[in-house]
């Protein structure tokens, strides 16, 4: 018998992992664009597309390998900040501020979308 905290998924297809990574990277790219636009004004969408895959890769790998959450979050934030700093060419303090706004926008938008998904799941019929 498997303890409740240790449910192991067997039979996860590579397509499911790739789909999860792609959707998460797209969502994080959208929120990176919203954060950069909030701080910098008019920015290119193309730059934001380069930000999302880094934290998405950390999330998928840490989830697949069952790594501890706090170090994974720290690594994802560092990669997110480094990608923002490199792609937008801003100072370290401005890049840190954009990263902070990216975290806030991601949490808020993710909470709203997940709440809507739960609400849609409660429809009768």
Summarize pLDDT for 40-78 with one digit per residue, the tens.
999 989 999 999 999 999 999 998 888 899 999 999 999
Tokens of 33: 């664009």
Q: Is residue 10 part of a domain?
A: no
Q: Is residue 87 part of a domain?
A: yes
Q: Is residue 11 part of a domain?
A: no
Structural domain for 36, as ranges: 17-121
Q: Is residue 8 part of a domain?
A: no
Q: Is residue 96 part of a domain?
A: yes
Q: Is residue 36 part of a domain?
A: yes
Residue carrying the six token digits 């997110």: 80
Q: Find how far residue 70's CA is from the centre of its chain.
A: 15
Number of domains making up the chain:
1
**Alpha carbon distances (Å) from 39 to 12, 93, 107, 120:** 39, 12, 17, 33
Residue 97 has pLDDT above 90, yes or no: yes
Q: Is residue 77 part of a domain?
A: yes
**Alpha carbon distances (Å) from 122 to 76, 109, 110:** 33, 20, 19
What pLDDT sits at residue 17? 87
Q: Let me know how many helices (H) and strands (E) the chain has, helices first.
A: 5, 0
What pLDDT sits at residue 16? 87
Q: Is residue 69 part of a domain?
A: yes
**Alpha carbon distances (Å) from 105 to 9, 62, 113, 120:** 31, 22, 12, 22
Nearest CA among 89, 110, 106, 112 for reference residue 35: 106
């Amino acid at each position: 018998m498997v303890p409740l905290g240790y449910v192991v998924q067997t039979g996860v297809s590579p397509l499911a992992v790739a789909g999860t990574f792609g959707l998460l990277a797209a969502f994080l790219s959208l929120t990176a664009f919203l954060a950069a636009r909030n701080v910098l004004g008019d920015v290119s969408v193309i730059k934001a597309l380069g930000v999302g895959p880094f934290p998405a890769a950390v999330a998928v790998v840490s989830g697949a390998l069952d790594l501890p959450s706090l170090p994974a979050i720290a690594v994802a934030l560092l990669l997110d900040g480094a990608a923002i700093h490199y792609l937008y060419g801003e100072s370290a303090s401005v890049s840190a501020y954009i990263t902070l706004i990216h975290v806030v926008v991601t949490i808020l938008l993710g909470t709203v979308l997940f709440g809507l998904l739960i609400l849609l799941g409660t429809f009768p019929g």
